[in-house]
Copies of this chain bind each other. A is one copy, B any other.
Amino acid sequence: MRIKVEELRAFCMDILTVTGMPEAEAEILTETLLQADQRGVKSHGVMSLKRYVNLMETGVMPKKLEYKVEVDNPVIAVWDGNRCCGQVLGHTAMKAAIEKAKTYGIGFVGVKNSNHFGAGAYYAKLAEAEGMIGISASTGDPTMAPWGGAEKQIGNNPLAISVPTKEALPVTLDMAQSVVAFGKIANMKRQGLKEVPEGWALDENGEPTTDIDKVYSVMPLGGYKGFGLSLMVDVLSGLLIGGGTGVRANPDQMGPAHTFMAIDTGAFGDTEEFKARMDARIAEFKSCRQATHSTGIYMPGELEELCYEKSKETADIIPEIVEDLNALAEEKGREVRLHEV
């Protein structure tokens, strides 16, 4: 169902500000939700609005940004996020990392005691928009077992990297360290499917399963390599700054911890030359002979960029989500409603 982006924006702003979020902060959270839907990443779009409203109403998440700077020098910083909104913390921290990167080429801001920050691509793209390489990562709720184990002990710890280009679409990798998102299997189950493909999931005994009813944890990508990658996100986003990892990253405990890093391409050489090199490398891949059953050769994030281009005026929202959101507005006694275009 297509909804006007401006209507979605006004809707989110109304709900968030009446919940008590300051306007400037509500604008950031709203923008991250809209961008996710416009990029076709529905799991991190307006679907999550109610969740964040709940976190504020139950007092888990303060309504107003407040954080404590524990470490700060021209290159790095460590912030205690006071369990504030992950998106507002993330936006503010990446902007700080970008400023730092202007001095010596690299800026690194770690944020602990945060909340779920949504789509990691949003923060990485803030740096990309400034001609920098942006990197964001976060610890998260356990969805995977350590390699060889049977219990969920580590998150699929998303990592996003965004890279500026000249004429080509910017390249943005945004990936979790599991073969598949847990939510995807949950959706398949809701649709009545009985099987998941081989290599996706483990049962309660840590053994591979294709029976959807026996799925307990998702498998790390590439087996032990994906566990290793997720552990390194635990280290760099969490343990380095004393932030939550594993169960401690749950919303009812410390909450997740994030890393925001900006690398100024201009400090390493000429930014325009870098962008031209990116374009040339992309053109090389695009000219590759396609595999027999290929549907095309796409760079990381390219399909999302193409979706965004088509969603500047209206975005595709799942009808049930529109219903839920309109019910939320009614419940809160607000007049805003979402309408199909």
Taking beta carbons and an 8 Å cutoff, which residues of A are in contact with B?
Answer: 70-71, 73-76, 78, 104-106, 108, 110, 133, 145-151, 153-154, 161, 163, 171, 173, 175, 179, 199, 202, 205-207, 221-222, 224-229, 231-232, 234-236, 239-242, 245-246, 263, 265, 267-269, 273-274, 277-278, 281, 284-285, 288-300
Contacts and interface: CB of A to CB of B under 8 A. Distances in A.
A150 B240 CA distance: 41
Given A207-B292, A242-B273, A291-B148, A300 B221 contact: no
A221 B177 CA distance: 11
A214 to B, nearest CB: 13
A221 B226 CA distance: 9
Contacts of A161: 232, 235
Contacts of A76: 104-106, 267-268
B240 A148 contact: no
With most chain B CB atoms within 10 A of its CB, the pick from A75, A226, A227, A295 is A75
Q: How many copies does the complex hold?
A: 2
A228 B151 CA distance: 29
- What 5 A-B pairs are tightest by C-beta distance, nearest first? A206-B291, A221-B222, A149-B288, A75-B104, A228-B300
A281 B245 contact: yes
Given A133-B236, A281-B234, A175 B291 contact: no
B78 A268 contact: yes
A147 to B, nearest CB: 7
Given A150-B289, A179-B222, 15 more contacts: A71-B268, A76-B106, A110-B268, A133-B235, A145-B288, A147-B298, A149-B289, A150-B288, A150-B292, A151-B288, A153-B288, A175-B229, A234-B281, A236-B263, A239-B277
